Amino acid sequence: MILPEIVLASPSPAAVPGAGIFTSPLILSLTIWLPVAVAIFMSVIPNPRNRYDTVMKQIAFFTNVGILFILFVAYNQFQTFLPTVQYEEKLPWLASIGATYHLGVDGPGMTMMMLSGLIGLTSVLASWGVRERVRSYFCLLLLTQAAVNGAIAAHDMFVLVLFWGAAMIPIALLILGWGGPRREAATWRLVGYWGLGTAALLVAIMTAYAANGGGSFDMDVLLKATLSPRVQLAVGAALVIAAATRLPLFPFHGWARDVYSEAPLGVSVVVAGSASRLGAYLLLRALVAANPAAARLLAPFVAILAALTIVYVALVVIRSVDLRWAAAYLSMVPGAITVLGLAALTPLSIAGSVLSTFTGGLAAALIVAAAWTLTDRAQSRSLQVLSGLAPRMPILTWILVIAALGLLGVPLLASFPAEAMVLFGSFKTQPVGAFAVVAGLVLTAVALAALVHRVLFGQPNPDAPAVSDASLGETWYLGLLAGALLWVGLFPGGPKLPGTDQTVFDPGLLNVMAAGITDIASPYVASTTAP
Amino acid sequence: MPLVVLTPLFAFVLAATSVRTRRSAANMAMFGAVVMLALSLLVAWGMTRRTTPFQVTYPYLNVPVAFTGPPNFQGFGIDIILRVDRLTSVAMIVMELCVIGALAWHRVMGRSEPGAARFYALVSAFLFAAAGALVSYDLAELFAFWGLAGAVTYLILAHRWSSIEASRSGQVALVLPFFSDLALLCGIAVIYSHYGLQNIGTLVPILHTTPGVGTKSLVAISVLLFVGVAGRLALWPLHAWLTSNARSSPPAGSAMAQSVWSVVGILILYRLMPIISASNAATLRDLVYACAVAAIAAPALTLFGNDPRRALILAGSGVAAIGAGLVIHAYAISSTTLAVVGVACVLAVAPARAAAMLAASAITAAMRTDDMAEMGDGWRRMRASTVALLLSALVIGLSACGALAFGVSSSSRFGLAMGEAILLVSIAAIRVFFAVAIGPLRRRRAFEPDRVREAATASLSWPYWLATAGAVLAVASLFPAWIGYLDGHKHNAAPVGGILVWVGAAALGIALTAAAFVYDKDGALRASAALGRWLDQVLGIAAGLLSRFVYEPVLAITLRINDLIPEGDGELARAAAASGRLALAAARLPAVPIVIGLAALLALVVGIVSPGVFR
């Protein structure tokens, strides 16, 4: 009964030549419920004496390949000139409180979905080395991905907060069950901070809901309601706290160090790559797009948070003694840049932030994964032990260098156009924040140079344990992340046939992302008289 | 024309993916550079027959961000605009000559360098990025190539990663220019935020006609762009990224970095001058002053210390500052057509800088010291390298004379400053030659002077060729036809008297140095060593103060916060857990007796405090 209703309730996107040929109304639900269904299936099939552990891994892998394929089809068929929500699904759910099962993505949402798909596949590949309780691990990993996809695709605030909070549970269980020696502390820190963020999000949504008369949680209604500036400010402040705990931003970053260093690699990749990017996505959706008055009022504070985060990270990394900790802190840098763009509130900076969410997710996941793999292969996390590893691990050396360059936004990598757009768009409205972030980037370069020199190119340590380079499997997941960074850096608008504007195979992340940006940024367009 | 830029990229890709041996890597890099030179010569030949530049445009990214508001801000795009005019083609040829010379020298003299395949691959990447920056006409594209060239420069300079000294000085090569590169990025970002354009051609006409853009913004833009370029030109005090790597990086890498970046930097400064000059007269005057101070300070610093390669780098930096000062000065006095003479002088000095670096490196390697006080007798023992050093020092000392004769009155204040600069530059450059060439080469511990031999024959000619190219360019810069070819304008001949005055200033410097070294070489070098020690002490104190009062406190605060946050949330978590345990324990107690007991306790308390019980 549900399927026909979804079909009936889903408006088909308008036909634009070259896109929209494939308009299945179930695409978004598939990306959410397919992993859930597979997780349930995996949890009930018999697995005597763990005989089918490899099969479990393969099931999780092919599920993610399938999701990525579905998402790629959706991405490929996305109508880039249509600013409205696409692949929409709407079902009545809790009519008494006005909650509906409403999904849909615009340009930024599609970009996030692609990020989540890529990160999901990477996380499964990165988890291939899991040996204990394999079935439970991959079930929880699939549930995590489902929750992240749900939070991205949700077009109803009630659904959003459910998925937002739900993402925390499997991640916490994964860390608690498969983490390192300090896994309990890591888990409770994650639960504490993310719980605080979820509470703040709930407060924001309930405030907006109550101020709007309590009729509906639908984003089309709730986020387009005209709230008084005071209510907007209260909602905005709560949203900033929710986002800051998730991204994370200083001083709400207490979970990051422990989680990224203690969680299993696949979980770290998911958290750094996609789950934490939800913070920026929430700010974009619920603050920038919906509450312009609050966004303007809070912008200087948000810019200060971004600047503080990046400077703090650089200073801590300079004195860090643990490579995984250093990588955990460094993974906060892209989030700060994204948030600067959202604080600047110009169309270009907002567009840059959306692109930065994608590229930052990749760069953060890459640095965390590279550091994790390197410490695993070198049998030590201590920066006093790790030294001069480059000759003995050339693949990991290249990957770590690419990750470092990706964080800094070096040309040819995807983070370059993202950072350029954010900075170009920010200097007019947030000059101090932009300068501070640039200064923070300089400090980050110092910290990264010191780190890379020490670990890779310093004098080899004769007392260090034996090291080995990345295996083929490790090269695959690291290469996937690095390759995506390079691909988008080389072809942000998609590869084009020579001499034409016709894209081949990939419509271009920028083109897809731009659909919807114009709507979101419309309140912040400068007047024609004073550019 | 795109092939000119793409050729080194192909060489890099091939070298990075399929080349493993030292010889094949060297051949691949050399092949890329030579093909690039041939293509550049072809373009330059084409440019002799036309006055308009070659230009091709490829869209890199284009994203609509708004449908309303000012048209320039409705979308954002970065186009890859490749534009080659005569000046650019000459600059590209000079750059390629420097790289080819350094590569050829390195094939022989750099045999023992580790990671040969990596080095040669990086050289190809460097050439690609530098060529891209030279031909860029879109500001974002310019920064992309500029940043890429900067990153590769760092990798080249920090090539000897396993050495601690190289590792430390490599960090300076990353951080200091990264700071100035970000100033350039900020400048470009401020330009975009005000104008919504990045194409230099379309930007310049609207600099003053765009409403809402005031002088303050234009001044900020000018200063940021200047700092961005000055960092890579290695103008004092932003020269440390080159001098700190003078000894620790491969000599060919250092030679390429200083010569190629001086070419790229001066050309980009020249290209950005229409934007920089849009600020106001006071800003231009201040920038000219900054260049004049840099032109004097850099060569003057060579007297503080006895490192020959540092001295040559600083002398070259002085000439680059003179060139930059001339370019800005021409705009300050509204004689914009004279700006090109500043570029011509830096183009002339670039090959000489590379030649001097290579020759000096060969000599320091043979004499096994970086202290000029321990060098000597080079004229007898290493004549070929010493003569190459002499030739390149002369070119460095004299290369600015033609440009100054064209662009500056020697009686003006700027002229006086330039006169002082050219005097100091000639002293700084020729001093190295005298220290190496004359006087005894003394026996030291584990060093036998009689074992000093000339560098390998196959490497000897390259510094000569480079110095000769520099000399040719320096002589050409005296002729108005050459200056006219570069910028497409007609120029009057430089006054002979002017040329003589500037050459006289340089000759005076050479003569003074010769006199001092012939009279008492050891005394002169002892004095500069003492000055060097004093400078090191001052810098050490300054660094100590900076560390004591800025760096350490900031780090301490950060680390304290870093500890405080987990401690704080840990305490919070423990408090929450304790309250939970308390609640759990309370839940286990029998509820009714507890309530009765609490009620009795409450009644007792109320009774005690009620009036009349105790009072």
Token output for B147: 């940043």
Report d(CA A527, CA A98) in Å as an integer.
Answer: 38
Separation of alpha carbons B102 and B121, rounded Å? 14
Q: Taking a C-beta distance cutoff of 8 angstroms, is the pair B400, B422 a contact?
A: yes
Question: Would you list the DSSP string of B162-191?
Answer: TSHHHHHHHHHHHHHHHHHHHHHHHHHHHH
Whether the per-residue pLDDT at B460 is higher than 60: the answer is: yes
Look up residue B409 and give its amino acid.
S
What number is the average pLDDT over the span A291-308? 92
Question: What does the DSSP assignment read for A214-233?
Answer: S---BHHHHTTS---HHHHH
Q: How far is CA B148 from CA A246, A420, B383, in A?
A: 33, 14, 39
pLDDT value at residue A7: 41
Chain A contact present for B587, CB below 8 A: no
Q: Give CA A146 to chain center in angstroms.
A: 14
Q: Does residue A477 surpass a pLDDT of 80?
A: yes
Q: What is the mean pLDDT of residues B277-301?
A: 94
Q: Helix, strand or coil for residue B442?
A: coil
Interface test with A, best of B12, B60, B63, B138 (most A CBs within 10 A): B63
% pLDDT > 70, chain A: 95
CB of B509 within 8 A of CB of B397? yes
* Whole-number pLDDT of residue B613: 62
Residue B535 structure tokens? 């400078």
Cβ-contact A126, A477 below 8 angstroms: yes
Nearest residue in B to A318, CA atom: B555
Beta partners for A496? A503
Q: What pLDDT is attached to residue B58?
A: 84
Question: According to the model, what pLDDT value does residue B470 have?
Answer: 95
The band of B447, judged by pLDDT with boundaries at 50, 70 and 90, is confident
Asked if pLDDT for residue A18 goes beyond 60, the answer is: no
How large is the average pLDDT for residues B364-378?
90
Gap from A424 CA to chain B (nearest CA, Å): 4
Q: What is the share, in percent, of chain B residues with pLDDT greater than 70?
A: 99
* Residue-wise DSSP of B582-609: HHHHHHHS-HHHHHHHHHHHHHHHHHHH
Q: What is the pLDDT at residue A23?
A: 62
Coil, strand or helix at B252: helix
Check residue B332 and give its pLDDT: 92
Residues of A in contact with B244 (CB under 8 A): none
**A253 and chain B: CB distance < 8 Å anywhere?**
yes
Site from B6, B17, B58, B65 to mutate, A interface, most A CB atoms within 10 angstroms = B65
Would you say residue B173 has pLDDT above 90? no
Q: Does B126 touch chain A (CB under 8 A)?
A: no
Q: How confident is the model at residue B581 (pLDDT cuts 50, 70, 90)?
A: confident
Helix (H) or strand (E) holding B286: helix B281-301
Q: Considering CB atoms only, which of A350, A458, A527 is closest to B167?
A: A458
Q: Measured between CB atoms, does A513 come within 8 Å of chain B?
A: yes
Interval A201-223: pLDDT, tens:
999 999 999 998 888 899 988 88
CB contact under 8 A, A410 and B148: yes
pLDDT of A160 above 50: yes
- Dihedral angle sign, alpha carbons of residues A258, A264, A265, A266: negative
Residues of A in Cβ contact (< 8 Å) with B213: 531
Average model confidence (pLDDT) across chain A: 89
Q: What is the pLDDT of residue A24?
A: 67
Tokens of A319: 């004195």
- For residues B448-475, average pLDDT: 90
Helices (H), A379-456: 394-408, 415-426, 431-452
Q: Which residues in chain B have their CB less than 8 angstroms from residue A390's CB?
A: 161
Q: Distances in Å between the alpha carbon of B588 and those of B44, B574, B594, B597?
A: 93, 21, 11, 16
- Residue B508 neighbours by CB under 8 Å, 6+ apart: B423, B426
Lowest mean pLDDT among A314-323, A397-406, B18-27, B264-273: B18-27
Cβ contact, residue pair B162, A458, below 8 Å = yes
Please name the residues between 396 and 455 in chain A that touch chain B, using a CB distance below 8 Å. 405, 410-412, 416-417, 420-421, 423-428, 431, 434-435, 438, 441-442, 445-446, 449-450, 453
Contact A194, A168 (CB under 8 A): yes
A445, A456, A517: residue with CB nearest B178 = A445
**B223: which 2 tokens?**
């200063």
Measure A232 CA to nearest chain B CA, in Å.
Answer: 24
pLDDT band, very low/low/confident/very high, at B615 (cuts 50, 70, 90): low
Q: pLDDT grade, residue B534 (50/70/90)?
A: very high
pLDDT of res. A410? 84
3 state SS of B334: coil
> Residue B604: what pLDDT?
86
Burial A25-61 (b: 16+ CB within 10 A, else e): bbbbbbbbebbbebbeebbeeeeeeeebbeebbebbb
pLDDT of residue B614: 58
pLDDT tops 60 at residue B149: yes
Rounded to the nearest angstrom, the minimum Cα separation between B95 and chain A is 22
CB contact under 8 A, A438 and B186: yes
Q: How many CB atoms lie within 10 A of CB A72?
A: 15
Say which residue the tokens 């290695």 belong to: B234
Better-scored residue on pLDDT, B63 or A476: A476
Residue A10: pLDDT over 60: no
CB contact under 8 A, A531 and B194: yes
What is the band of A19 on the pLDDT scale with cuts at 50, 70, 90?
A: low
What CA–CA distance (Å, rounded) separates A223 from B244? Answer: 56
Which one of A284, A457, A513, A522 would you mutate to disrupt binding with B, by most B Cβ within 10 Å of its Cβ?
A457
Give the best-scoring range by mean pLDDT among A317-321, B363-367, B546-550, B586-590: B363-367
Chain B residues with CB inside 8 Å of A413's CB? none
Minimal CA separation from A311 to chain B, in Å: 9
Q: Which residues of A touch B566 (CB under 8 A)?
A: 189, 254, 257-258
Instruction: Band the pLDDT of A411: cuts 50, 70, 90.
Output: confident
| Stretch B551-578: mean pLDDT | 78
Question: Does B344 score more than 60 pLDDT?
Answer: yes
| H or E element, residue A102 | strand A99-105
Tell me whether residues B161 and A428 touch, CB distance under 8 A.
no
Question: What pLDDT does residue B503 have?
Answer: 93
Helices marked H in B438-551: 457-476, 480-487, 496-546
Q: A221-239: per-residue pLDDT in tens?
A: 888 888 888 888 999 999 9
Q: What is the mean predicted confidence (pLDDT) over B328-346?
A: 90
Chains A–B, number of C-beta pairs less than 8 Å apart: 182
Reduced 3-state DSSP string for A450-484: HHHHHHHHCCCCCCCCCCCCCCHHHHHHHHHHHHH
Residue A103 DSSP SS3: strand
- Banded pLDDT at B48 (limits 50, 70, 90): confident
Mean pLDDT computed over B589-610: 82
Find the mean pLDDT for residues B236-247.
90
**Phi, psi of A187, deg, nearest 5:** -65, -45
A226 to chain B, any CB pair closer than 8 A? The answer is no
- Residue B99 banded pLDDT, cuts 50, 70, 90: very high
N-term to C-term CA, chain B: 106
Q: Residue B541 region, left (φ>0) first, then alpha (ψ -120 to 50), else beta?
A: alpha
- Is some CB atom of chain A closer than 8 A to the CB atom of B566? yes
Average pLDDT (A281-291) is: 92
B267 touches B259 (CB < 8 A): no
Least confident of A103-107, A516-520, B208-212: B208-212
What would the mean pLDDT of B463-486 be, rounded to a whole number? 93
Which tokens is B603 given? Answer: 């009644």
Put residue B254 in one of left, alpha, beta given phi > 0 → left and psi -120 to 50 → alpha: alpha
Residue A457 to residue B570, Cβ atoms within 8 A: no
* pLDDT(B60) > 90: no
Q: What is the pLDDT of residue B170?
A: 79
Asked, as a colleague might, if the bond just before B480 is cis with ω within 30 of 0, I would say no
Interface of B with A in 151-210 (CB under 8 A): 151, 154, 158, 161-162, 164, 167, 170-171, 174-175, 178-179, 182, 185-186, 188-190, 192-196, 210
- A133 touches B at CB < 8 Å: no
pLDDT for position A14: 40
pLDDT band at A20 (very low <50, low <70, confident <90, very high): low
CB environment B124-150: b (16+ within 10 A), e (fewer): bbbbbbbbbbbbbbbbbbbbbbbbbbb
pLDDT, position A318: 86
ipTM of the complex: 0.80
> In terms of Cα–Cα distance, which of B347, B346, B429, B423 is closest to B390?
B429
Is B488 a residue whose pLDDT tops 60? Answer: yes
Please check the confidence at residue A5 and state whether its pLDDT lies above 50: no
Q: Are strands A99-105 and B75-84 parallel, antiparallel or unpaired?
A: unpaired
